[in-house]
Amino acid sequence: MFRRRTQEAPEDPPQVVKPGGKGRPTPKRAEAEKRRRQPITAPSNRKEAYKRVREKQAAERVKAREGMAKGDERYLLKRDKGPVRRFARDYVDARRTVGSYLMYGMFAIVALSLLPLTAAKLAVLFAPPVLLAVVFIEGIMISRGVKKQAALRYPDEDAKGVGLYAAMRAMQIRRLRVPSPQVKVGEKDKVGGEPAAK
């Protein structure tokens, strides 16, 4: 009569599934992190270790090559770094240069030399020095233009060698230039990422 009644264990309340819910309880943070962790397995032998190192190095080279092509400062060579060099690249890439067609011209001259024609032989004789003279004069003009604009835009930056840098880039075939062109031919207003100095 005076004994306590045995308390019955309360039943679990029914779980209410919200509309649009995931239908299961949210896991604890420790459980979620445990699931995310991937087991790190050590290489079983030296050959496997070398293989992993080579794969990692190959992936890093691909990443560096892509970064260099895009002009990412982190992956550029020392000669290509800095705002002045970037401006020089854009200055050249925004123009159609004779120097970029120099190799095509030389191939055409070699092809002409195979023809058994007097006119072709005369062209082969005079065309190379004329073509080289045009490219040389163009290089001087580009070099002067780059140095003048760089001095106006970046007076506090080191512009040493930027003229030769631009002239050499102007002699390269456009699609083979590294870093790859970031402006299209004719987009002179986008050179250096800012309006041209007046």
Which pLDDT belongs to residue 149? Answer: 94
Which pLDDT belongs to residue 196? Answer: 41
Peptide bond into 179 cis (omega under 30): yes
Query: Cβ of 172: how many Cβ atoms within 10 Å?
Result: 16
Distance CA 20, CA 55 (A): 44
3-state secondary structure 78-111: HHHCCHHHHHHHHHHHCCCCCHHHHHHHHHHHHH
Helix (H, G, I), strand (E, B) or coil at 77: coil
Lowest mean pLDDT among 92-101, 162-171, 189-198: 189-198
What's the predicted TM-score (pTM) here? 0.66
pLDDT tens digits for 97-155?
999 999 999 999 999 888 888 888 888 899 999 999 999 999 999 999 999 999 999 99
Largest Cα separation within the chain, whole Å, is 134
Nearest Cα neighbor of 192 from 85, 78, 100 is 85
Pull the structure tokens for residue 100: 């970029």
**Please, which pLDDT band fits residue 40 given cuts at 50, 70 and 90?**
low
Name residues whose C-beta falls within 8 Å of residue 2's C-beta, 6 or more positions apart in sequence: none
Average per-residue pLDDT for the chain: 81
Which pLDDT belongs to residue 64? Answer: 76
pLDDT tens digits for 122-131?
888 999 999 9
Which pLDDT belongs to residue 198? Answer: 37
Distance CA 197, CA 8 (A): 88
Cβ contacts of 152-161, under 8 Å, gap ≥ 24: 152/197, 153/87, 153/192, 153/194, 153/197, 154/83, 154/84, 154/87, 157/82, 157/83, 157/84, 158/82, 158/84, 159/84
Lowest mean pLDDT among 21-35, 40-54, 112-126, 142-156: 21-35
Distance CA 75, CA 109 (A): 38
Distance CA 134, CA 156 (A): 33
